[in-house]
Structure 1
Amino acid sequence: MSVLLALAIQAATARQSLGLFERWGAFSDPQRCFAIAQPVRAREGGFASIASFPARGLRNQFHARLSRARSPRAQVTLSIGERRFQLVAGTTDAWAPDARTDAAIVAAIRSARSMSVESVDAKGRAYADTYALRGAATAIDAAAVACARR
């Protein structure tokens, strides 16, 4: 939980904590509301989030900050239960390719126990950042309620 707290402290004073739910936290700031978690085996910099941006009409977007820089040729795959999602990726970030996939990811998160973001790092080593999903649905809902008030 220390990384979640560090993220909150590091943020601008306008960021509001909406609560901590098991391994997930919910926060809001003037531009967005989001649920966020660090991997079970915390690696520096890695996290997964579901965010809404009310002013842009965007809701429940999945984003992962990879714990390692990925190889330029490597794909990034999100695994949730039996579901697999190919993500669009930069060097250290990955996203769902579209709103439909975002919705499918959030639905899968609600019914699974864990998820992993898998890729190959710049040195050619395969790796996975694994997240516990207990508390994720509640954190996502808390963020959605905060954005609905705007």
Structure 2
Amino acid sequence: MSAPASARDSLGLYATWGAFRDPIAPRCYAIALADPSLKQRDYQPFAAIGTWPRRGARNQIHFRLSRKLAPNSPIVLVIGDRRFNLTGGGGDAWAANSSDNAAIIAAMRSASRMYVRARDSRGRGFANIYPLAGAASAMDAAALGCARLNHNP
């Protein structure tokens, strides 16, 4: 009997971050929910760092934002004293290029929190905040989990 399409293997929980392997895709990822908020949300916001061995993609940052974005809204990620302009649309955002992606992952390893800010479809500013305790361990666990997938065709 095959596993259901939603099957995931937990690779560990690290503070507010988790690491998972999806052998069906195959992919591995570290993920965390944004801090809770009483403000209106269109989506459940999360940050994920994914690896897809068969695509050759490693440590790709992705944000599901809490609100639908205004068209052409600047999306800014702040980690410590660093600021990164993200690209995206709808309710999603990514690094603008591979060098920014690498810099974001490196900055996440040494900061205590990060936040993404933008304007929603009604023109209101919003931010999603993420504690980074455990992020480095979750990213490492996901990378190791996919290293094992790489050896199993």
Q: Same fold (TM over 0.5)?
A: yes
Task: Look up the match of 1:75.
Answer: 74
Residues 77-116 of structure 1: matches in 2 within 5 Å? 77-116=76-115
Please list every run of 5 or more consecutive structure 2 residues that lacks an aligned counterpart in the other structure: none
Task: Look up the match of 1:39.
Answer: 34
Give the Cα separation in 2 of the matches to 1:36 and 1:134: 12
Q: CA RMSD in A?
A: 1.2
Give the Cα separation in 2 of the matches to 1:124 and 1:97: 22
**CA apart distance, 1:87:** 0.6
**Equivalences, count:** 139
Q: Which has the larger radius of gyration?
A: 2
**CA apart distance, 1:17:** 0.7
Give the Cα separation in 1 of the matches to 2:73 and 2:97: 20
**CA apart distance, 1:81:** 0.4
**CA apart distance, 1:100:** 1.3
Give the Cα separation in 1 of the matches to 2:95 and 2:83: 11
Task: Look up the match of 1:23.
Answer: 16
**CA apart distance, 1:131:** 0.2
**CA apart distance, 1:73:** 2.6
Please list every run of 5 or more consecutive structure 1 residues that lacks an aligned counterpart in the other structure: 1-10
Return the TM-score normalized by structure 1.
0.89
Q: Give yes or no for contact 1:75–1:89 (8 Å, CA) kept in 2.
A: no
Give the Cα separation in 2 of the matches to 1:99 and 1:29: 24
- Could you list the structure 1 runs, at least 4 aligned residues long, displaced by more than 6 angstroms after superposition: none
**CA apart distance, 1:127:** 0.6
Task: Look up the match of 1:12.
Answer: 6
> In the alignment, residue 19 of structure 1 is paired with which amino acid?
G
Return the TM-score normalized by structure 2.
0.87
Give the Cα separation in 2 of the matches to 1:36 and 1:75: 23
> In the alignment, residue 53 of structure 1 is paired with which amino acid?
W
